[in-house]
Amino acid sequence: MTDRQVGREIARWQQRLQLQDWQIGWEFVGGEDMECSGAPAEIAMNTDYRSACIRIARGSEDGSVLRYIRHEMLHLVLVDVDPVFTGACEALSREGAALLSDQWNSATERTVTRLERAFETVEPLCEPGTYAMVDPRR
């Protein structure tokens, strides 16, 4: 995918998810440059400045890039509940906070995956620059 196609896809999901108050960038990187080892994509966020950067493994196929963009954008939707998590961690011991952090990360990932599946049934991914016509009776 070209940078222009990636930018259009991010803008489309940004509008669809009502994230226009965020500045969202992206970059293609080598797998060794990913913070989450082995992940094909990741998102780094700064909630104070409402900015984020989606990092996608260089060489990813177009269809995969589309899925990665949607997945990482859905993480942004959930970021507004992070202060609840942070507040709870502050009241716990170090061990308790680490356990809660693991559970929080797992629950967030499961929620994003469920949202992805829901979007897929409503609007399947299609080639960059095109949009699927979905039968509303389906």
Interval 65-114: pLDDT, tens: 999 999 999 999 999 888 888 888 888 899 988 998 899 989 999 999 99
Amino acid 41: pLDDT: 92
Q: How big is the CA angle at 34 (ends 31 and 64), to the nearest 5 degrees? A: 65
Q: Which of 118, 101, 109 is nearest to 39 (CA)?
A: 109
pLDDT over 60 (residue 138)? no
Mean pLDDT of the chain: 85
DSSP bridge partners of 41: 56
pTM across the whole model: 0.81
> DSSP string spanning 28-67?
EE-GGG-SSTT-SEEEEEETTTTEEEEEEETT--HHHHHH
CATH number for the region 3-122 comes to 3.30.2010
Coil, helix or strand at residue 52:
strand
